[in-house]
Structure 1
């Protein structure tokens, strides 16, 4: 696929990404700090490198729908939920890349199979309930952008949502069979192969989220991610084995939220990109790990044709980064001998 078909203006792109979006200040810092990665080397990203999928689509697209790839990551699976594991790890936004991805349609089973095949350690999800209480995985509150239908998810039945076809936007591979998946289907696909990050910010139905985790026998394969400490507490009250992933929105809030959860130590503390340098030492001193979104780096690296930016977050103290281009992050880590 030509780069021009996937590359939106930077300002527009940063309004599309869906988790803890980077602030303009953090994007500017990411761009200006490219030289900070001088202590490690990274590959140069070119349009030719993005012209096709970094892994064979037959491993994850509709032709592979009866097969789940074997875990390709070299990092021990248990490291994904161990707050003391400091190996650099990679999270795929909405599976294997969201609004800036180029591998598989976001939030689909193909995207999660692709994440497994790529060798990343985490895949992010976006569960929200339909009108009849089925947790489906779709980022937006409507089906308009990612399917051939229209309407609000919470005003549609599961049957109505399931009947829609996923937009593939010219991606390499066969995605004709793709439909909006349920959270349980994703958990059953990923269980034991990649850690599923359950973004609980799109619904208050914590009971449905915990139920899906239990029904899929996936407690050891998930982290429960939300900016709401109340939701974390509710989930832990229902299922104490669940690992927490909290999201303090300021450096000052890090210790406050950790204190609120004590004696539970979250598996992951997600910080705003601009807070990593100041906040990482606080998180590490409390026995947990730092995750951050690097969507700003995704955009600037693609525009500049240089992936050295991907190493900045790790150099500043992050242990896990979430990217729309996880294959590029993995490649940068491998070439820098960090993996």
Structure 2
């Protein structure tokens, strides 16, 4: 029997992805931020004890060029500081509490550096059989220092990078084998982004998930990540994503997702 090229790609993609993922992996959004302050070592330590495949982190750069983990460009919401983090040196950032809103127990938490998070994850992976990888949201960082820090801790190969298409393209120039994950709003964007970036995965909007779109992406051997945040954080939605074949569910409720998937299994 002779297969046409599109059919062959479809078959190959489904075989690869179908065998690799019995059910979705879970990504801890900014760590387990419901039980500890987001993007802190405290929350990452907590999340590592949960059934997660990825820790999602947001990387920004201080005035003196250090890479830190902070979602917002401004310090105001999550720390005792004010203004843009890019206007402060690392020493100044480290004077601030990153436990804002979580009571006295977390007053001593500080904005972590990427280096500190990498050390934590490297040490965890050395002593646990179930490896956890980084989901890196590249907020404000240059590709080379980001790549260099992850490579120093042997975390580059399995890290997944989310960011603007322009950033991901520049990252690919520095690290051709980096696992890129651009956003995808609809199927119309698929051909152009595949040609430009050759992505490892797509971050697909939850509301855009359909059987046809997931199958189309998988047919090219590309994975599907999606954020079950806000309105979609419930068991019905988690199970829907699992049935669609979503590869990674990102969530603020790791244990809730895990329990729903167990019941499905």
TM-score, normalised via structure 2 length: 0.82
Retained in 1: the 8 A contact 2:217–2:224?
yes
The corresponding residue for 1:161 is 93
Distance in 2, matches of 1:286 and 1:89, equals 20
Q: Aligned pairs, how many?
A: 240
Q: Among residues 206, 228, 232, which one is paired with 1:294 in the alignment?
A: 228
Q: Quick check: 311-320 or 141-150, which moved more?
A: 311-320
State the shift of 1:321 in Å.
Answer: 0.9
The corresponding residue for 1:207 is 144
Distance in 2, matches of 1:245 and 1:321, equals 14
Q: Quick check: 237-246 or 116-125, which moved more?
A: 237-246
Retained in 2: the 8 A contact 1:184–1:215?
no
Describe the SS at the equivalent of 1:240: coil
Distance in 1, matches of 2:244 and 2:66, equals 40
Distance in 2, matches of 1:244 and 1:309, equals 26
Deviations 1:70-119 (A, max 9, x none): xxxxxxxxxxxx9672231111111124xxxx221100111112221012
Structure 2: gaps of 5 or more residues: 1-15, 126-130
Distance in 2, matches of 1:250 and 1:257, equals 11
Query: Which runs of structure 2 are paired with 1:107-122 in the superposition (5 Å)?
Result: 107-122=39-54
State the shift of 1:331 in Å.
Answer: 1.0
Retained in 1: the 8 A contact 2:99–2:108?
no
The corresponding residue for 1:274 is 207
State the shift of 1:174 in Å.
Answer: 4.0
Describe the SS at the equivalent of 2:184: coil
Describe the SS at the equivalent of 1:279: helix
Describe the SS at the equivalent of 2:68: strand
Question: Is structure 2 residue 247 aligned with structure 1 residue 319?
Answer: yes
Retained in 1: the 8 A contact 2:27–2:248?
yes
Q: Quick check: 161-170 or 151-160, which moved more?
A: 161-170
Q: More strand per residue: 1 or 2?
A: 2
The corresponding residue for 1:34 is none
Question: Is structure 2 residue 186 aligned with structure 1 residue 250?
Answer: yes
Query: Which runs of structure 2 are paired with 1:119-130 in the superposition (5 Å)?
Result: 119-130=51-62
State the shift of 1:249 in Å.
Answer: 2.7
Distance in 2, matches of 1:168 and 1:161, equals 14
The corresponding residue for 1:3 is none
How big is the alpha-carbon RMSD for the aligned residues of Structure 1 and Structure 2? Answer: 2.2
Structure 1: gaps of 5 or more residues: 1-81, 302-306
Of structures 1 and 2, the one scoring higher in RCO (CA 8 A, sep 6+) is 1
Change (3 A) 1:227 1:314: farther
Structure 1 ranges of 4+ moved more than 4 A: none
The corresponding residue for 1:86 is 21
Distance in 2, matches of 1:251 and 1:140, equals 30
The corresponding residue for 2:260 is 332
Distance in 2, matches of 1:326 and 1:314, equals 15
Retained in 2: the 8 A contact 1:130–1:154?
yes
Deviations 1:158-177 (A, max 9, x none): 11111101225347x94343
Q: Among residues 110, 114, 119, which one is paired with 1:179 in the alignment?
A: 110
Retained in 1: the 8 A contact 2:99–2:110?
no
State the shift of 1:211 in Å.
Answer: 2.0
Q: Among residues 122, 140, 158, which one is paired with 2:72 in the alignment?
A: 140
Distance in 2, matches of 1:281 and 1:290, equals 10
TM-score, normalised via structure 1 length: 0.65
Describe the SS at the equivalent of 2:162: strand
Describe the SS at the equivalent of 1:126: strand
